[in-house]
Chains A and B, each alone.
Chain A
């Protein structure tokens, strides 16, 4: 299995992928030429630790998502909106969950726990509140007190005052609120701009992996629009970086040469 390197046509970007079947893909960009197989960390990114500590400014995310987020992780006290429920929400919280953070999932009775575990979420540290009822802001505030991460799908559109109160709670307790939906005051917004499934044809094959383009923007440090192609999910259910070019036909794991 030779490592495959592909140069992206996009300006100032060189992308390295390390093709190992079922393995994690790491590394990425920032300027000059990079040798195939290198794992490159951009120097300005905060390197999140492996363990979540109360003093950390940033909660770690999966390596594939680091470049999408300012600071390379989820800033404590911030709200992240994802436009709607999708696997992206789970991928966002998976890194911190794997590093020891507790995650409360509110208003998502149809969460696929197996997919969550495959993405990297630790089911042992998940609390599910399927139906928070009409008093959901109170439920969210209570859970922010105990869990570093709260993944919320609001049952109804919150009023501006409810929103501001929850944002203040998030800031005060140093948690991260990931909203599966829209949230006007969100510091960071991510959404799936494009998606394509690989491995399935007209009556043959099966769903193997999905190649998605994730766009991120936001306010302040996050204002710059960022976009990345990801395998979400990859053939083993995990999240990895996908090639900029190349069709979804060549999903990772079956690629033989570069």
Chain B
């Protein structure tokens, strides 16, 4: 039934739409879902917070078919108060797309052998490969079906190893054939903590060095791993094991990050109370495991494939200094993953919209790219202080009446006094505006009508204020 070449196994993907942005708290909360799915199959693979996968064949046979299995999972996750979508297909890629197909409350099940037909109408953007996604549509290949229709050899010679991989995906095959026989050498890396580590921080530290060792070992043999198994063994013998998607793409830092998520989720489950019997890594009657240290950390590369190499960009990628990464990781261990961010300039009109904050270690693209024209955006110089949430303010004229702006951008009187909420009144010495801004009027949810002002107060401070729905808000200050 399945093709002999790279026989893609049946895979079930659980996708929770709420986790599109991964922060630590998210990763921790997702642990509940993973634990629940673990009740259906012992080998849950976490692709990233919000998405996990299991092999569908065995559980489906046990629970009475794929449809019944998917329904059980959806109901169980709904019982946690979360929404999820489930997809079943040949191979992980198709199953992920199936899970993302909007069909609330139902699982999308692609029949065995029908994967390539299911994939065909999807746009090539679903390959998730930024270069190919830009290139293929320009060559007239809009859908996966059109791309899959190319001869495999042509795809490989034209688009390189990445293209060959993508072509296999588009045809509904597994991206890389597995190396059939596991190598005889042990490629895992482990570290023993003596005395057992009580805190997550030293374990995460060690994980980075371990991941480096594991990567070096793999690289020396020309291999990469599809998944990495993170095994944590506690002093009293209990074991927490997770599989994380790797695909030969994760940096050592990213592997350490996965270890931290895993530990954070485990701690959260412990803190959530000893009564939940579903947590598989809890001792049955254990009450004293709170002060139980971690004795061993092991990283096991799983599903070895030939490394096809990964070309680093020649320009445009700032290499992160090891020392900086270590410092950031340490602070993240103290305060949480989302506490250390790197700013990314994005396109937008308001000062807050021009910046996206990305947690350290994550890669992200701004919602709106920079370098495009944004008519009506703020003129330079930009304000030095941008309030994350605009501060309510009051602006009045000489007589003390609030200044209003009409629909045709006419003001009721020149502004004379300004007071941010709770602060003393300041006399306005000069001002400019109103500059009307009407954004995304075609989308009811995010449309905005504002009138912007620049106000300079008697003490020399300069403010950027807006009037929206009759309310004055201070967006930013130029000091």
A contact set with B: CB distance below 8 Å: 85-87, 90, 102, 104, 109-118, 123-133, 135, 138-139, 142-143, 145-147, 194-197, 200-210, 233-237
Contacts and interface: CB of A to CB of B under 8 A. Distances in A.
Contacts of A201: 430, 432
Contacts of B430: 197, 200-202, 205
B382 A236 contact: no
Interface string B400-411: 000000000000
Interface in B75-114: none
A207 B343 contact: no
B360 interface: yes
Contact of A210 (B357, B386, B431, B478): B478
Interface centre among A116, A132, A146, A237 (most CB of B within 10 A): A146
Given A110-B386, A146-B323, A236-B381, A123 B344 contact: yes
B63 interface: no
B36 interface: no
A143 to B, nearest CB: 5
Contact of A145 (B326, B380, B383, B432): B326
B432 A207 contact: yes
Given A112-B476, A200-B454, 5 more contacts: A113-B354, A123-B344, A127-B328, A145-B327, A233-B384
Given A86-B479, A196-B460, A197-B462, A129 B327 contact: no
B276 to A, nearest CB: 29
Contacts, number: 152
Judged by DSSP, the binding face of A is mixed
Contact of B324 (A102, A113, A208): A102
Interface residues of B, number: 45
Interface centre among B360, B379, B380, B479 (most CB of A within 10 A): B380
B194 interface: no
Given A113-B343, A235-B380, A127 B360 contact: yes
B431 A128 contact: no
B382 A200 contact: no
B387 interface: yes
Contacts of A202: 414, 430-431
A237 B334 contact: no
Contact of B339 (A102, A130, A205, A237): A130
Given A126-B343, A128-B357, A233 B385 contact: no
Contact of B355 (A114, A125, A147, A236): A114
A112 B351 contact: yes
A113 B345 contact: yes
Contacts of A124: 318, 342
B321 A146 contact: yes
A118 B382 contact: yes
Contact of B381 (A109, A111, A115, A142): A115
A1 to B, nearest CB: 20
A122 to B, nearest CB: 8
B318 A125 contact: yes
Nearest to A109: B388
B432 A135 contact: no
Given A112-B384, A128-B357, A142 B331 contact: yes
B374 to A, nearest CB: 12
B330 interface: yes
Interface string B429-461: 011100000000000000000000010100010
B340 interface: yes
Contact of A139 (B331, B341, B386, B431): B331
Nearest to A118: B382
A235 B381 CA distance: 6
B327 A110 contact: no
A146 B343 contact: no
A125 B317 CA distance: 11
B397 to A, nearest CB: 12
Interface centre among B318, B340, B344 (most CB of A within 10 A): B340
